[in-house]
Structure 1
Amino acid sequence: MPHREVPDASPARLSLISRHLAPDYPINTPYAVERIPDTIDTSLLPKTQTRKMSTQPPHATLLIPGPIEFDDAVLQSMSHYSESHVAPGFVATFGETLSMLRKLFQTTDTASQPFIVSGSGTLGWDLVAANLIEPGENVLVLGTGYFSDGFADCLGVYGAKVTELKAAVGSRPQLGEIEKALSEKRYKAITVTHVDTSTGVLSELENLSSLVHRVSPDTLILVDGVCSVACEEIQFDAWKLDGVLTASQKAIGCPAGLSISMFSGRAIKALESRKTPPASYFASMKKWLPIMQNYENKKPSYFATPSPQLVHALHTALTQILSKPLKERFARHKEASDKIKKAIADLGLKQVAANPADQAHGMTAIYLPETVKQTDILPSLGKRNVIFAGGIHKEIATKYIRFGHMGVSVLDPARGDIDRAIKALQEGLSEHGYQKA
C-alpha cells in the first residue's frame, strides 16, 4: 500500500491524539506513565512516523514492556471487512495462524496443541489453573516478582496447594534450591515466569527442564512466556516443556486481546484424565480443544466467538516473524538489549536484575538515582516523546522505571526508537540534576 500524508496534523489534533494515547493514570498503577505534552515535537519522532507513515498519526514512541509499537501492516490487516467466524476465508486464516504458532514455539509434535482465545495474557493463568491442576494438587511456583505472584494467586483461586520458592528482588531461584524443593514433595506442576515484567529477570528454561525431568519426571513444566515469546529463545520440543502461555501485545507485536498458548501432549493427557470437570466455563480447555483442532484442520467450529480482526493481525505478525530465521530475531533483540544495558551502565545506573545472566533481552528495569523521582523522570521522557513504564514490584515500586525494547522498535532501526529513548533518558536525568559520579 502506498504511503500517504496524515490528514489534519494541527497542534489541536495532535493534542487530542496525545491525550488519547497517554491518559492520566495514578502513578502507582502497574503501567503508570505521565501524560505526554499537549503538543508533539515532530522533530523528535521517528522518520517513519513523520515522513511516510501511512496509517498511524504522529505519536510518542511507546517503549513500555507491552503493549509495544505496532508495524503498519499489522494494523492495516485489522481493517479487514467484517466476516463470519465460520466463513471459509476466516477459517483458513485462523487455521494457518494456529499452524504458524507451532513454528514460533518450535514444536513439530502433533500431540501438542496451540490455543488462541480472546482475552489478555492473564487468561493463560486461568487456562492452566482451571484445566491442568485439580483442587488439592501441589504446584511449585518459582517466584521472581509481581507476575509470578499473580500466577500463584490464580492457582490458589482454583484450589491448588501452592508452594512459592521466592528469590530476592532482581534474582531467580537457583537450580539447587529447586531440586531440594522437588525432592521434598510430589508436585503436579512447576511454574516459571520466563521474564517477569516487574523486574526484567530472565529465568533459564533448558537446564530447569532437565532438572525437573530428572528429579520429578511426572511434574508438568508450565511457563509464563507473556514477556518472552518472540524475543527470547523457546524450544518447546527440545526442552520438553508442557505449556507456554503468552499474549498478543508484547514481542509478537499485535494489539492486546488474544491469549496465546501451546500445550504438550502430556498436558493434554492431564486434562483428559481429570477426575473433576474444569472449574471454568469460558476457560475450559475441554471446550476449546476440539475448536482449535477443527480450525487448524480448516473446519468451521464454534464455542465462543473469536475476534476475526485480531486474528488477522496475528496472522500478519506471525507471517512477518517467520519470514526470517527465529535465531536472527532473537539475536537482534540481544544486540539491542546489550546496547541499552551498556548505555545504562555508562550513565552510572544499575538494573533491578543485577546478574547479566538473569537479564531479559526484551525489557530493562532501571534503578533511578536517589536524587531523581519516578514522578519526575517519566514526564521528562514524555516531553521528549518517549514513554517508559513506572515500577510495579511492591517492594521497590517507586525506585525504578521499565524500558521495553521488543518487536518493530528493535527490528526496524530506521525508526530510531532505541537511540531516541537512550538520548531522552540521558537528557531527562540531566534535567533533574543527575550527573554520573
Structure 2
Amino acid sequence: MSTQPEHPTLLIPGPIEFDDAVLQSMSHFSESHVGPGFVSTFGETLSMLRKLFQTTNPASQPFVISGSGTLGWDLVAANLVEPGEDVLVLSTGYFSDGFADCLRVYGAQVTELKAPVGGRPQLPEIEKALSEKRYKVLTVTHVDTSTGVLSELQKLSDLVHRVSPDTLIIVDGVCSVACEEIAFDDWKLDGVVTASQKAIGCPAGLSISMFSGRAMEALQKRKAPPASYFGSLKNWTPIMQNYEARKPSYFATPSPQLIHALHTALCQILSKPLAARFARHKEVSDKIKSVVAELGLRQIAGDPNDQAHGMTAFYLPEGVQAAELLPKLAKKGVIFAGGIHREIAPKYVRFGHMGVSVTDPSRGDIDRAIEALRSGLLECGYQQVQKQT
C-alpha cells in the first residue's frame, strides 16, 4: 500500500503519479553537489539515460539540467541553430507551435508544416519541403500533449537521411520518453529533449536530453557562441562528461534531491526490459481507447496509427462541457486535464495514462478513472453509452 497521503489520482498528461520510492528519494539528506556520494549518483544517472534512450554510441551526450521540459527547446534553439538558419518544424499541436516560437526568438528562419487538428504532416509533403530548401534542423514533437497525436520517427528519419542528410533531426519527447519507444541509435536521431515529470516518473524540475555526435559537432562548429549562458551546451558538456566519469565538476548548482529521485525512477524503469514497458503502455492505452469508443466519443487523433500510448485526448459529447465534467471527476478522486489546443480547447479533455499508474495495476488508477468517466458523463446527462457501429 502507498504511504502517500490520500489524494485524488492525477491522470493528466504530466505531471503524473509518482512511486513511493521516488518520492522518498526526494527526502535525501543535504549533501554537496561535488561530494563523492552525489557525484556517483549523478554519474550513474547519466549512464542509465543512455540505456533509456537506447544509445551505445560514446559520441552521444546526455544532459540533465535544472529546468522544465521547455528548457529543451531553448537548448536546441540556442546551441544548434544560428540566426538566419532555416528550421523545418512539423506541427501537430500547441507544443509543436511553441517549439517554433522558441526557435524564432533565437533568430531561426522557421518554416512550419501544419497538419489539420488531430493529424500529422505526411511524408510526401515533408519530402517536398526538404527538397526545396536546405534546413539546418528538423523538429518533430513525438507526442503533442495538446492533441495526443503520435508522430512516427523511424520512417521520418529514413526520409530525412535520404533527402537531406545534413539536416539534424530533433525530437520533442517530453510526452513520449519512457512510454513510447525511442531507438536513438537505430533511428539515427540527433537530439531528443524531455522532462522528468511525465512517463519517467520523477517530480518536475529537470530538463533531460540526449544529443548525437553529429549534433555535438554542429555545436562545436558554430560561428558565434551559443545564444544563452545558462543554456549553453558548451558550458554544460564538460560538466556532464566529468560527472559521468565520476569526477566532481561545477558550472551551476544541480538539485541533488531531484537527481536522487531521477536515479530511483531510472533504476525502476531499467529493472525490466524496455520492450515490456512499452507493451504495457500500449495494452492500457488500447483498453482506454476501447472504452472511449464504447462511450460513443471521438478521439482528437482520428487515425489509430497517430494515437499516443501515454495519453488519450477525446472530444466531449454535445451538451457536456469540460467545466462541468472535470469537477465531477475530481469529486470521484480522479483528475483529468482540459483541452489546450487553441482551435478546439473547450471541446475536449485529456486523460494521461503513463508511468506507475500503468505499470502497477495494483494501484487501480486506470480502472478507477474509467469508472469515474462513465459515471461522470451520466451525471452530466449524457446517455449514449452503447458501442459505436
Q: TM-score over 0.5 for the alignment? A: yes
Task: Tell me the alpha carbon deviations over residues 317-336 of structure 1, each in whole angstroms, 9 at most, x when there is no partner.
Answer: 00000000000000000000
SS of equivalent residue, structure 2 residue 50: helix
Aligned-pair CA distance for 1:178: 0.2
Counterparts of 2:86 and 2:66 in 1: how far apart (Å)? 29
Counterparts of 2:61 and 2:85 in 1: how far apart (Å)? 23
Counterparts of 1:318 and 1:203 in 2: how far apart (Å)? 24
Q: How does 1:113-262 map to 2 (within 5 A)?
A: 113-262=61-210
Counterpart amino acid of residue 2 in structure 2: M
**Runs ≥4 in structure 1, deviation > 3 angstroms?**
none
Given the two structures, how large is their TM-score scaled by the length of structure 2?
Answer: 0.99
Given the two structures, how large is their TM-score scaled by the length of structure 1?
Answer: 0.88
Query: In the alignment, is residue 344 of structure 1 matched against residue 292 of structure 2?
Result: yes
- Matched residue count: 385
Counterpart amino acid of residue 333 in structure 1: H
Counterparts of 1:435 and 1:358 in 2: how far apart (Å)? 29
Counterparts of 2:138 and 2:308 in 1: how far apart (Å)? 21
Query: In the alignment, is residue 334 of structure 1 matched against residue 282 of structure 2?
Result: yes
Counterparts of 1:372 and 1:200 in 2: how far apart (Å)? 21
Q: How does 1:19-418 map to 2 (within 5 A)?
A: 52-54=1-3, 56-418=4-366
Counterpart amino acid of residue 323 in structure 2: T
Counterparts of 1:60 and 1:78 in 2: how far apart (Å)? 21
Counterparts of 1:427 and 1:249 in 2: how far apart (Å)? 29
Counterparts of 2:340 and 2:41 in 1: how far apart (Å)? 37
Counterpart amino acid of residue 168 in structure 1: P
SS of equivalent residue, structure 1 residue 164: strand
Counterparts of 1:73 and 1:181 in 2: how far apart (Å)? 47
SS of equivalent residue, structure 2 residue 138: strand
Counterpart amino acid of residue 383 in structure 2: Q
Counterparts of 2:210 and 2:227 in 1: how far apart (Å)? 20
Query: In the alignment, is residue 433 of structure 1 matched against residue 364 of structure 2?
Result: no
Q: Which residue matches 1:43?
A: none
Counterpart amino acid of residue 117 in structure 1: I
Aligned-pair CA distance for 1:435: 1.2
Counterpart amino acid of residue 250 in structure 1: K
Task: Tell me the alpha carbon deviations over residues 122-180 of structure 1, each in whole angstroms, 9 at most, x when there is no partner.
Answer: 00000000000000000000000000000000000000000000000000000000000
Aligned-pair CA distance for 1:370: 1.2
Counterpart amino acid of residue 132 in structure 1: L
Any gaps of 5 or more consecutive residues in structure 2?
none
Percent of aligned positions with the same letter in both sequences? Answer: 80
SS of equivalent residue, structure 1 residue 256: coil
SS of equivalent residue, structure 2 residue 354: coil
Any gaps of 5 or more consecutive residues in structure 1?
1-51
Task: Tell me the alpha carbon deviations over residues 57-81 of structure 1, each in whole angstroms, 9 at most, x when there is no partner.
Answer: 0000000000000000000011110
Counterparts of 2:249 and 2:236 in 1: how far apart (Å)? 10
Counterparts of 2:378 and 2:79 in 1: how far apart (Å)? 51
